[in-house]
């Protein structure tokens, strides 16, 4: 069972529900459902809105960056995790980018980045000032137009991370992923993104992962944003 800091009635937490995705396992075998948040109301504990504006609307939660913050909108759940599967549904409504991310106990660990035209799966920079650097495992073109819901899933077991956005899949391994994990959440750069059905499951490694991995092709085929064209904004949204 996961260690955790908050178990409050404002969020539905259960330890018996089955995995809700009817597909073959990838990296992880799902266990007990740890967090089930519909995100259809104003954020309350264990959620913490660190930056931005978060409003309940249309049975979902709208996240928007506030210009006064000079920082992307950030919403995180105050939870401590081990190996897990994290999933959320997202819909662009004018934003420049959004992420599903997970922190180490100190600093960042991993994230899946979505823009209207690309998906990135990466290990994050874990010390900001250096010498540690982020690592992009998978970055490909995508069509994530405003108005369409997309399912984003992060699987992290042992030293391996897998990211999935609809049918786009990428993965990578790094020793950082062995550390305790904390504060799963989402970020938004610009105006705005809708979120719903945020779920976390306990996870164990799929015994057939090596077979599955052989069929996944990691690519880094989309250039990072040029200076002055969103790079600074994306960095600020990493919290």
Alpha-carbon distance of 187 to 15, in angstroms, equals 27
What pLDDT is stored for residue 16 in this prediction? 35
The pLDDT-based confidence of 232 (bands split at 50, 70, 90) is very low
Q: Kindly state the average pLDDT of the residues 128-148.
A: 93
> 163-219: per-residue pLDDT in tens?
999 999 999 999 999 999 999 999 999 999 999 999 999 999 999 999 999 999 999
Query: Worst-scoring range by mean pLDDT, 51-60, 91-100, 228-237?
Result: 228-237
Quote the pLDDT of residue 12: 39
The per-residue pLDDT for 239 is 56
CA 165 – CA 113 distance, rounded (Å):
10
Lowest mean pLDDT among 7-21, 133-147, 175-189, 220-234: 7-21
**Residues 117 and 141 sit within 8 Å (Cβ to Cβ):** yes
Summarised one tens digit per residue, pLDDT across range 14-66 is 333 344 455 899 999 999 999 999 999 999 999 999 999 999 998 999 999 99
* Mean pLDDT to the nearest integer, 214-234: 65
Cα–Cα distance, 206 to 159 (Å, whole number) = 13
Give which of 4, 166, 183, 189 is closest to 88, Cα–Cα.
166
Segment 101-105 shows an average pLDDT of: 95
128: pLDDT strictly greater than 80: no
pLDDT at 225 (0 to 100)? 52
User: Which residue ranges form the domains of the chain, and what is each CATH number?
Assistant: 29-222 (2.60.120.560)
Give yes or no for residue 94 having a pLDDT over 70: yes
Write the DSSP assignment of 170-238 as a string of letters: EEEE-GGGGS-EEEEEEEEEEEEEEEEEEEEEEEEE-TTHHHHHHT----B-SPPPPTTTTHHHHHHT-
- Segment 102-122 shows an average pLDDT of 96
Work out the pLDDT band at 223, boundaries 50, 70, 90: low
Spatial separation of the C-alpha atoms in residues 107 and 239, rounded to whole Å: 8
């Amino acid at each position: 069972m996961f260690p955790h800091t908050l178990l409050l009635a404002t969020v539905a937490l259960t330890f018996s529900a089955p995995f809700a995705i009817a597909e073959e396992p990838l990296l992880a075998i799902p266990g007990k459902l740890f967090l089930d948040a519909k995100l259809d109301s104003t954020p309350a504990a264990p959620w913490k809105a660190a930056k931005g504006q978060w409003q309940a609307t249309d049975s979902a939660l709208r996240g928007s960056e506030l210009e006064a913050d000079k920082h992307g909108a950030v919403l995180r759940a105050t939870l401590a995790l081990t190996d897990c599967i994290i999933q959320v549904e997202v819909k662009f409504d004018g934003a420049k980018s959004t992420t599903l991310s997970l922190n180490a106990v100190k600093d960042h660990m991993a994230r899946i980045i979505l823009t209207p035209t690309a998906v990135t799966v990466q290990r994050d920079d874990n010390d900001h000032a250096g010498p540690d650097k982020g690592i992009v495992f998978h970055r490909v073109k995508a069509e994530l137009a405003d108005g369409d819901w997309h399912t984003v899933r992060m699987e992290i077991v042992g030293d391996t991370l897998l990211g999935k956005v609809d049918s786009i899949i990428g993965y990578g391994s790094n020793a950082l992923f062995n550390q305790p994990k904390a504060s799963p959440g989402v970020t938004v750069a610009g105006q705005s993104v809708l979120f719903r059905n945020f779920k976390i499951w306990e996870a164990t490694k799929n015994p057939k992962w090596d077979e599955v991995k052989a069929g996944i092709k990691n690519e880094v085929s989309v250039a990072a944003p040029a200076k002055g064209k969103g790079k600074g904004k994306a960095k600020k949204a990493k919290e």
